[in-house]
Amino acid sequence: MGSASCSESTSSSRSINSCAEDFCGEDLVCVQFWMNGCSQVAHVSRSALGRYRRDLLATGAVLLN
């Protein structure tokens, strides 16, 4: 998981506010969220996306996408 800016995707199969990367053969998805007064971005594998989003919500974060 790392922080970086997330640009708009040009692929029609992904939402406009998400981006994806191929890191070492693994498809990563940007998860944008608001926590502790600032916007943050995490890059998460598609297989772990659901759990990551649930865990973020449990901490009080607000998902932005």
Render each residue's pLDDT in the chain as its tens digit; 65 residues. Answer: 454 444 443 333 344 344 655 556 678 999 999 999 999 999 999 999 999 999 999 999 999 98
At 56, is the secondary structure helix, strand, or coil? helix
Question: For residue 1, what are the CA distances in angstroms to 12, 18, 23, 42, 65?
Answer: 25, 15, 12, 5, 17
- Specify which residues 42 forms β-bridges with: 31
Place of tokens 């007064």: 37
CA 46, distance to chain mean position in Å, is 10
Distance CA 33, CA 10 (A): 21
Structure pTM?
0.61
Considering only CA atoms, which of 26, 22, 15, 65 is closest in space to residue 48? 26
